[in-house]
Amino acid sequence: MQPPRLIFDAHLDISMNAMDSNRDQRLTLEEIRRSELLSTDGLVFRSRNTVCFPELRRARIGIIVATQIARYSPKFHKLPGWTSPEQAWAHTQGQLAYYRAMEDLGELRQLRTKAELEAHAKLWRDADDSQTATLPIGYLLSLEGADSILSWKHLEKARGDGLVALGPVHYGPGVYGHGTDDSGPLTARGRDLLKEMEKLGLILDATHLCDESFADALSRFSGPVWASHHNCRALANWNRQLADHQIKQLVERGAVIGMAFDAIMMVHGWHHTKSTPAEFGLRIEKICEHIDHICQIAGNAAHVGIGTDLDGGFGTEQTPMDLNSIADLTTLQPLLQKRGYSAADIEGILSGNFLRFLTKHLP
pLDDT of 77 reads: 84
pLDDT on residue 78? 85
Predicted local confidence at residue 3, as pLDDT:
85
Give the pLDDT of residue 75.
Answer: 82
Does residue 300 carry a pLDDT above 80? yes
Mean pLDDT, range 313-320, rounded to an integer: 98
Cα–Cα dist 9/139, whole Å: 10
Mean pLDDT of the region 276-300:
98
Tens of pLDDT, residues 129-186: 999 999 999 999 999 999 999 999 999 999 999 999 999 999 999 999 999 999 999 9
pLDDT digits 0-9 by tens, 228-267:
999 999 999 999 999 999 999 999 999 999 999 999 999 9
pLDDT at 1 over 80: no
> What confidence score (pLDDT) does residue 2 get?
81
The whole-number pLDDT of residue 26 equals: 98
Model confidence pLDDT, tens digit, residues 47-88: 999 999 999 999 999 999 999 999 999 888 888 999 999 999
Q: pTM for the complete prediction?
A: 0.98
What domains sit in the chain, N to C, each tagged with a CATH number?
8-361 (3.20.20.140)
**What pLDDT is stored for residue 190 in this prediction?**
98
